[in-house]
Amino acid sequence: MLLRIAWRNLWRYRRRTLITASGMALAMGLVMAVGCMQDGMFDMMSDVLVRQTHGHAQVVHPNWPTSQLMHDTIAEDIVTRASALPEVTGASGRMFVYALAASETTSVGARFIGIDPKADRIITDYDQQVARGKGRFLSEDGAGEVVIGADMATELGLGPGDELLFLGQAADGGMATELLEIVGIFRSGLDQRDRTGAYVHLSTLQALLALDGRVHQVMLVGHGIESSAAVRDAVRGVLGENEGIQVNSWEDADPDLAKMMGMRDAGLFIVMFIMFSVAGLGVLSTMLMSVFERTRELGVMRSLGMTRLRMMGMILLESVLLCAVASLLGLGFGGFLDWLLIEYGFPYATADGEGVSFMGVTFPPRFYGILHLRPIVITVVFMHVVAFLDALWPALRVARLRPVEAMREH
């Protein structure tokens, strides 16, 4: 009975109800669009910054994270042992060294990254980063091949088919020099890597540095970014206690990035607070106007025996029903905006058409949204809470009505 009365009262002033519900629906739709866009951005960031720079977990020498010296190596056979674990979907050994990369006319400081192209293909998309029309990635054999960053290629004036001189120092103290054939030019989206990075085959770098069978890092990926702790613990269980080995999750390896990724909902809550604070004023205004206009009617209902609690419940129920109508409209509007963002994306390019760079990452010139249920549920619940709180004042005013005084109102 109370539900039927509340529903009838809600539509007594149809225009006002629709205007208020439309305002709330507009706010809800915009919040859903922000959540969809934010999820797309954070998922892209997690792929670029986590999977391709740290992996979900990694095995290193205990001194490597702080010193990164050439001799801080671990055994390459850890790759095989880790790959056998069900928690691990991919494992690849890496080697890093700073050396000079030189052309006939100039040279630059470069960070050479030794990888196994076959094993690494499961972990990263390095092989897909080669710029269109700029050669190819390392072959599975890859002896004597190198793929360099686009900005480095521009600075050296080199392209696919040219030779690059590697000039560095080996682990035994001797000189390490080699002419490498440039087979491709990549653009990773990481500014520093595009400017100083060069990929060579792991075996080539091991031979140059006199570190056969050794690697600086074993990158591991699991079934998702949330599985990093499970991957770390599983690998630790296999390798056991070893003073020369340290297993870290990506959160351990980069706490600042983990903290930033943990704040992905902060922006959504800020937008929700702003949007629903404004929309909430509309709900408060609507409910107060409804109470003022029905004061005499409410006094009659009170005199006929309706309790204060039921009177409050009727007003609060009207607010909840108003919010339910707004939710249906908002889900339709928000769903349409989400579809546009998922299908067509949102242009976010600079004047020259390139993506915006932030924290060393060059974002693509167009963001695409990703739809998750969680932000939609949070938005609907938050809107209902706001509507309920806004209706408390009118409900308390109704509960304090004196029947005789209320029935004198016109």
The residue that leads in pLDDT, 404 or 292, is 292
| Residues 24, 280: Cα–Cα separation, whole Å | 8
| Residues 209, 218: Cα–Cα separation, whole Å | 18
**3-state secondary structure (DSSP) of residue 94:** strand
pLDDT tens, 38-79?
888 777 767 666 666 778 888 999 888 888 888 899 999 999
pLDDT tens, 205-237?
999 999 999 999 999 888 877 788 888 888 888
> How many residues in total does the chain contain?
410
Q: Is the pLDDT of residue 305 over 90?
A: no
Closest C-alpha among 168, 161, 139, 134 to residue 149: 134
| Residues 390, 61: Cα–Cα separation, whole Å | 58
| Residues 214, 205: Cα–Cα separation, whole Å | 10
| pLDDT of the residue at 358 | 56
Mean pLDDT value of segment 134-158: 90
Provide the residue type at 20 as one letter.
T
| Residues 382, 403: Cα–Cα separation, whole Å | 35
Mean pLDDT value of segment 280-286: 81
The H-or-E segment that residue 176 falls in is strand 175-186
Gyration radius from the chain CA atoms = 31
pLDDT tens, 368-388?
888 888 888 888 888 888 888
Side-chain half-sphere exposure of 342, counting CA atoms within 13 A: 14
Please state the pTM of the whole predicted model: 0.66
pLDDT tens, 94-132?
999 999 999 988 999 999 999 998 888 877 777 777 888
The H-or-E segment that residue 163 falls in is strand 163-169
Q: Is the pLDDT of residue 407 over 70?
A: no
Q: What is the DSSP string of 291-324?
A: HHHTHHHHHHHHHTT--HHHHHHHHHHHHHHHHH
| Residues 6, 56: Cα–Cα separation, whole Å | 53
**Burial class of residue 56 (count of CB atoms within 10 Å of its CB; 0-12, 13-18, 19+):** buried
| pLDDT of the residue at 13 | 79
- Kindly provide the b/e burial profile for residues 175-210, where b requires at least 16 CB atoms within 10 angstroms of the residue's own CB: ebebebebbbbbbbbbbebbbbbbbbbbebbbbbbe
